[in-house]
Amino acid sequence: QKDELPVCVRSCMGKAISFGDINDEKSEISRALKNNQIKIISSEYETNPSVFYISRQEESGAPLKNFDFRKTLYTPAASAKTKRIVVDESAKGKYVYTSDVMCPSECGIVVYVEDGEAKKIFGNTHSLINNGAFCAKGASGLQMTYSPHRIKTPLRRTGERGEDKWEVITWEEAADHIARKLIGIKKRYGPESVFLDVGDVTDREALYRLFHAFGTPNTFNHGSICDPNRKWGQWIMTGDERPLPDLQRPMLLSDKNGKTSLKYKHDAKLILSIGSNPFVATRFNYMSKGIPAAREENDCKYIVIDPSHTNSAMHADKWIPIMPGTDADLLAAMLCYIIKHDSADASSRRYIDHDFIERYTSGWPEFKAAFLEYTKKRDPENNMFYFTPEWAEEKTGIKKSDIEETAHLFGITKPASIEIGMHGTAHHTSGDVTSILMTALCLITGNMDVPGGLVFIDSQKPKKGSETVGKEFLEETVIRRVNGKEVSGRLSELNKDLYGDHPAAFKGVITDIPEKIRDGVKIKHGTFKGLKYPVKAYISRAGNPIITAGSTPDWIDAVTLKNGDGGYSLELMVFIDTHINVTGRYADIVLPEAGFLERMGLSDVYTMSPELAIRDQVIKPLHKSKTDYETMIALSDALIKNGDTDIKAGDFRDRYKNEEDFINEILSDTPGFYNIGEPLPYPDLPEGCIITGTPDNPGASLDNKAIKKGDPLTVDWLRRHNGVAVWPASYYRYKKSDGSLSGMYPRTDSKKFEFKFSYLENINKRLGTDYPVTFYWAECKWNPKNPEFKKIAKEYRFQLITGRVHHSMTMTTVCPYLAETETECMKPLNDKFNYAMPKLNHIPNEYGIPDNEEIFFKAGSVSIPIFAFNSRDGENLQIKTGDILILENPQKRRIKGKAILTDEIMPGVIKTAFGPGGQKASGIGFMNETAEYTPNINELHDPENFNRLTGTPGFGDIMVKVIKEK
């Protein structure tokens, strides 16, 4: 905007960007160059305005110096010539290629290590995920690694759950305690009574293997709560959980002769971001670079639809404010407009690709009929006919003309795509419908898996670990007594969701675990129908479910519930992580996990070019921490020693020589994608064969027969090739070169894109359920327009939403670099406080704060989660920035926080950050001092308000009234 600094400068977390005219002696950038004697490292990058990579130190050891990415990609003919990053070979230490875990982007990084200590972190220029770019989140990884608040030894609870009182024990004592408890629970209730939640989506194979071998089918991860709603429509209609706008550049492609090259050119003509904020929520790192590049190079139009004027909206051609939870309403009106105004004969209204629908989809007539049937009905909320522009205007707050214009623009522009957000769409209970409608719009307009459109991502994600996670253990036959009779079936048929309350929830349901702890699990389908079993153990690794998995009060109530004999109903709670967070406070045993620089693993994030990177062990595990592999070995040994006959040494200690051997097994079926699409990834191999092994010499199989022996992908290969493997990408993967169905993608039963959902049809047929199998409609419960809340709508007239902060999830607070940095929904409004910095002993001080001293933090020096109010709303309520407010929901639950007034959010909406507020635990550090006046939104979450198909909590469906604290 005019007279404002570029958004990149304002949003840079490290405040590392200077902006100005390099020729103007009075400009900030000229002063910086003059006063600090900054040296320019690289000025050849052709961007506008010019960007210079600069350094305040001698640049001879900088990994980016004189680096040309285009000369380093391996091809079948030149793999031996692959270059490493240019580094100072005379340095005393070494450079280790690995992958970041400070946010879900998992960027490729290089770490400089000297005398066993990680000294510096750089971006890996060989990775197509981040192309050498590196942000403050990654840089703060050293603060996370060398945090004084790390869990240093195994701990055993000495007080009540939640008191954060511990005694130090050995690993052997901890493993024996856990093993004896688990074996006792198995004998009394069955292994299904033990629940494992591996939380964060990285490096989880070891614990999956252990607990599947133990016999529990109830294993979960963060994906169960993060965004099943967002994935839903895409999964049931395309067989791909995560199709995304085609924005990753460069991407690796093959020509007809098998020669690979990087594609830099963008094809996108139109991108709609609905409830997504890709310039902040960097789940897909390349989008924040790709969108501006597509606009610059290809005149791509970018429209952001969001209640808040986010950083992404600042890059947009148009920002359209929308009432929270009405994204499906907008998309339904757009679909209705396109259906009713499409004309094959008029080029200005040729919206629908009828040939694509006819050849590559199934069920469109049924979907269309079910959809249009709604247009004959009146909405009880406003007594208007569904899906008309007028109806959508009343629901969404968007002008009718804007709705029609957006629908027309999306229908007529080719290629185009839509991205829907996690917080903005998936965290509303109607997010599943939003996902279905988004997918339908991209399909009928012919924008699926085409250059510049919505492209397969998950389908091409490198496969890993299918031989390692131990799912075969769950196919063992077991006997249970049901209604007085012995019944035999598979362990997998005891899964609490797939055979219980939520058979369609393909990611599992975590948010109802508190209810299951209190009331038990009832199997309602399959062989064991009628069986009921309790939840007696919960193992949490690298997560914080009490804060992020639903209602915080509900979780605390469940894990502290006691039996008549005074013991806890949940007999065992184990916490495995690097820091004790709120969930950790309630554990019985705490195990110290090795941090991401101290363990091995693999990164396989969502990219257009299939890419997999090593997470190598940069330094040895600190303190008494263990890697997840070592924890698996320690616990399996303890289970065997204490008499668990299901755990065999041959499946664990005797199976693997070391952790590298374990990772090599995970890599054994990588990448596992089909050689299909245009251009063909490997034109020298048969169309449709499965690719495994290294990119430069892969193996191939066809019809379950090996047709080419290649080189296996191994840890050693990755280390010798800059830590990363990238395979060629392709488009049009749903068809063969002759235009017929590929038979591989989409991964649906029909091998077509489905408007009639075979996934749900199969569940109905198998279990006797009655799920909808084509278009259906649903509304959010907690919204002020719901007739059920007519009497209280004026009192509770605000809608409270959250947004993803720039930071590193709930553990942002551990890192001073991040905690002190202002971002969206995080502002420097702390009260003054004192903080006693622990003694570091032999650990490097990366905090920049003297250790073993009490430090004074002045007011306004730390960024905290706040309530963002529209300025007019604030004036009407007579509140000002910095006021402490209480928000109350209709269930009379309350949270507290400080207000900030802004024009960057629409009236009637309040926005805060998801996760970092209201936490108090021994592992959090100085941000404990702000817990009393920072909001944890999930104190207000209704535990009954979650999507019954997908299991996604309605985090974004919260009505509140505002109370000014006296």
DSSP codes joined into one string, 739-772: SSB-SSSS-STTSSEESS-HHHHHHHHHH-----
pLDDT band of residue 816 (cuts 50, 70, 90) is: confident
Phi and psi at residue 813, in whole multiples of 5°? -65, -20
- State the amino acid at position 250 in one-letter form: P
**Among candidates 562, 581, 571, which has minimal Cα distance to 539?**
571
Closest CA to 167 of 778, 533, 588: 588
User: What average pLDDT does range 3-7 have in this prediction?
Assistant: 56
On the question of pLDDT at 282 being above 80, the answer is no
Regarding beta strands 853-857 and 833-837, do their DSSP bridges make them parallel or antiparallel, or are they unpaired?
antiparallel
Main-chain phi, psi angles of 924, to 5 degrees:
-90, -25
Res. 796: pLDDT tops 60: yes
The strand ranges marked E within 264-306 are 270-274, 301-305
Q: What is the pLDDT of residues 851-874, one digit of tens each?
A: 888 989 999 999 999 999 999 999
pLDDT value for 806: 56
Burial 428-439 (b: 16+ CB within 10 A, else e): bbbbbbbbbbbb
CB 432 within 8 A of CB 949: yes
Window from 56-65, 208-217, 293-302, 742-751 with minimum mean pLDDT: 56-65
pLDDT at 576 over 50: yes
Over residues 673-732, the pLDDT tens digits come to: 999 999 999 999 999 999 999 999 999 999 999 999 999 999 999 999 999 999 999 999
In this structure, the chain runs to a length of 966
Average pLDDT over residues 7-30: 61
Which pLDDT belongs to residue 431? Answer: 96
Q: CB of 187 within 8 A of CB of 194?
A: no
Q: Which of 135-144, 247-256, 591-600 has the lowest mean pLDDT?
A: 135-144
Asked whether residue 880 carries a pLDDT value surpassing 70, the answer given is yes
Residue 79 is predicted with a pLDDT of 32
Alpha helices in 375-524 (DSSP H): 389-396, 400-412, 431-444, 513-519
Angstrom distance (rounded) from CA 545 to CA 499: 23
pLDDT of residue 539: 99
More confident residue, 23 or 174: 174
What are the phi and psi torsion angles at 95 (to 5°)? -110, 130
How far apart, in Å, are the Cα atoms of 117 and each of 96, 393, 618, 809? 12, 59, 9, 25
Helix spans in 858-939 (H): 871-876
pLDDT, mean of residues 744-771: 97
pLDDT digits (tens, 9 = 90+) for 350-399: 999 999 999 999 999 999 999 999 999 999 999 999 999 999 999 999 99
- pLDDT score for 685: 98
Model confidence pLDDT, tens digit, residues 88-120 = 555 689 999 999 998 888 999 999 999 999 999
Q: 184-206 in b/e burial notation, b at 16+ Cβ within 10 A?
A: ebbeebbbbbbbbbbbbbbbbbb
Looking at residues 564-588, what average pLDDT do you find? 97
Residue 85, pLDDT score: 42
Given a cut of 50, whether residue 1 has pLDDT beyond it is no
With a cut of 90, say whether residue 80 has pLDDT above it.
Answer: no
* Average pLDDT score over residue span 448-466: 94
Tell me the per-residue pLDDT of 468-492, one tens digit each, with 9 for 90 and over: 999 999 999 999 999 999 999 999 9
Write down all domains in the chain, each with its CATH number in brackets.
1-57 (no CATH), 244-353+386-455 (3.40.228.10), 787-964 (2.40.40.20)
Look at 201 and 835; give whichever has higher pLDDT.
835
pLDDT band at 227; cut points 50, 70, 90: confident
**More reliable by pLDDT, 9 or 820:** 820
CB of 328 within 8 A of CB of 776?
Answer: no
Residue 220's H or E segment, with its range, is strand 219-220
Question: Given CA atoms 950, 952, 953, 959 in this order, what sign does their dihedral have?
Answer: negative
Check whether 16 has a pLDDT greater than 60: no
Q: Are strands 909-913 and 798-803 parallel, antiparallel or unpaired?
A: parallel
Q: Which of 860, 927, 872 is nearest to 898 (CA)?
A: 860
Burial group, residue 755, by CB count within 10 angstroms (0-12, 13-18, 19+)? buried
The whole-number pLDDT of residue 62 equals: 37
Residue 624: CB atoms within 10 Å: 15
- Which residues lie below 8 Å from residue 705, measured CB to CB, with a gap of 6+? none
pLDDT at 10 over 60: no
Interatomic CA distance for residues 189 and 178, integer angstroms: 16
The predicted structure's pLDDT at residue 819: 84
pLDDT at 63: 38
pLDDT class for 31, splitting at 50, 70, 90? low
DSSP state of 558: H
Mean pLDDT score across all residues of the chain: 90
Token pair listed for 937: 């939104």
In this predicted structure, what is the pLDDT of residue 852? Answer: 85
Q: For residue 893, what pLDDT band results from cuts at 50, 70 and 90?
A: very high
Distances (CA, A) of 50 to 42, 56, 66, 170: 11, 19, 18, 56
Range of weakest confidence among 214-218, 421-425, 511-515, 825-829: 421-425
Pull the structure tokens for residue 261. 């090259």
Per-residue confidence (pLDDT) for residue 27, from 0 to 100: 73
